[in-house]
Amino acid sequence: MTAVKLTLDRLTKQYRAGLAPAVDRLDMEVEEGHLVALLGPSGCGKTTTLRMVAGLMDPTAGRIVVDGRDITATPVHERGMGMVFQSYALFPHMDVAANVAFGLQMRRVAKSKQTELVRNALDMVKLGHLASRHPKELSGGQQQRVALARALVVEPTLLLLDEPLSNLDAKLRETMRTEIRSIQRRTGATTLFVTHDQDEALDMADRIAVMNGGLIEQFGTPADIYERPRTRFVADFIGRANLFEASVAAASGTGSKGETVYRIDVPGIGTSEAIGEAGLEGSQRTVLVRPHRVQVELGAQPGGLTGTIENVSYTGDALGYSIRLGDVLLQVERHTADGTIPARGEQATVRWAAEDAYVLPEEVRAP
């Protein structure tokens, strides 16, 4: 299968004049063979984007380009894509083999060749033995695999997955994640994947596009998105986050990956250090500290920020604290070490390495 490159060029969808666009001048490049996750809360425009790429919905403006060819006006059935729907959308009146063979029939593949390709596709998803079952006789995970085989058997130029795992139970979802990812790698199909589940996106995707209100907030690798979020929305949406405002003072050095280390002043609490892009001195910015990157010591200790423990939650593996520092309620998560569980109301001192706190490049948005 030759992988293709997908380019979205100022792609826009406005359902009704006067309404805010569901997708607003979206630009995106999906490299050959990459799996890109469109991640965001419901209503962020991710499904609309996918449906426009599939051709199930007409864009209001903008272009969809596959390998340099503009397909914006190409009808759905001539796009040669593969799609897995949230509901799987298996044809209830056909058995598994007929479901998988449907796309081949549409392409007028010879009967004997069809049989062979269907068998290979079903073997790939480990369902060869269920070829004569009907969809309603299959479990959710099996239906999901049939849908995947049906989409892949036609060797699509582009594979589109619309929340394919959201109807599975938690355990199966994990298995299918790995399985989809390995099948996608093997076939090399360029893939667009819609999800609202950040774990899924971080685990599976080569690149993640975090969407909000019809716009892409950030497009980058999972590590970029998690470690170096560009906006407060991204920092908050991906993983757990402590976000507070601080004045960025002078740069005090350079981090291990070349970032600038700043002294930051959190009003009413104290000063600490954080890293960020160059040129943020003297500005007011949001700072991100992940709960598990915060060091905590009991009692008031020098060289850190001291506050009061407001709440403790013990979950066996982990110990969660809510520590009050002025206006900020800092969430801290540590692995349990020696079984001591501090009491509420005790004093505690928190500190973090400069590299564990990140100054967001986005200017503080007016509340």
- The least CB distance from residue 353 to another protein, in Å, is 49
Which residues make Cβ contacts (< 8 Å) with residue 63, sequence separation at least 6? 7, 8, 9, 10, 11, 70, 72
Residue 311 backbone dihedrals phi, psi, to 5 degrees: -155, 145
3-state helix vs strand vs coil in the chain, percent to 5:
25, 35, 40
78/338 with CB nearer another protein: 78
Q: How many CB atoms lie within 10 A of CB 42?
A: 7
- The least CB distance from residue 204 to another protein, in Å, is 21
6/208 with CB nearer another protein: 6
150/230 with CB nearer another protein: 150
Which residues make Cβ contacts (< 8 Å) with residue 223, sequence separation at least 6? none
In the chain, DSSP finds a helix count (H) and a strand count (E) of 8, 20
79/290 with CB nearer another protein: 79
Match 């044809």 to its residue by tokens.
Answer: 91
- The least CB distance from residue 16 to another protein, in Å, is 12
Q: How many residues does the chain have?
A: 367
- The least CB distance from residue 87 to another protein, in Å, is 5
- The CA-based diameter of the chain, rounded to the nearest angstrom, is 78
Instruction: Please list the alpha-helical segments (H only) found in the chain.
Output: 46-54, 96-106, 111-124, 140-152, 170-187, 198-204, 222-227, 232-237
- The least CB distance from residue 54 to another protein, in Å, is 6
- The least CB distance from residue 30 to another protein, in Å, is 18
77/365 with CB nearer another protein: 77
Query: How far is residue 269's CA from residue 290's CA, in Å, rounded to a whole number?
Result: 18
- The least CB distance from residue 45 to another protein, in Å, is 18
- The least CB distance from residue 66 to another protein, in Å, is 14
Query: How far is residue 336's CA from residue 292's CA, in Å, rounded to a whole number?
Result: 12
120/283 with CB nearer another protein: 120
87/308 with CB nearer another protein: 87
Please answer whether residues 271 and 307 qualify as being in contact, where contact means their C-beta atoms are separated by less than 8 angstroms: no
Strand, coil or helix: what is 138? coil
38/54 with CB nearer another protein: 54
- The least CB distance from residue 194 to another protein, in Å, is 14
Interface contacts to another protein, rule CB under 8 A: 54-56, 76-83, 85-87, 89-93, 102-103, 106-107, 150, 154, 160
| The one-letter amino acid at 64 | I
Of 195, 198, 214, 199, nearest in space to 84 by CA: 195
88/244 with CB nearer another protein: 88
Query: How far is residue 105's CA from residue 91's CA, in Å, rounded to a whole number?
Result: 14
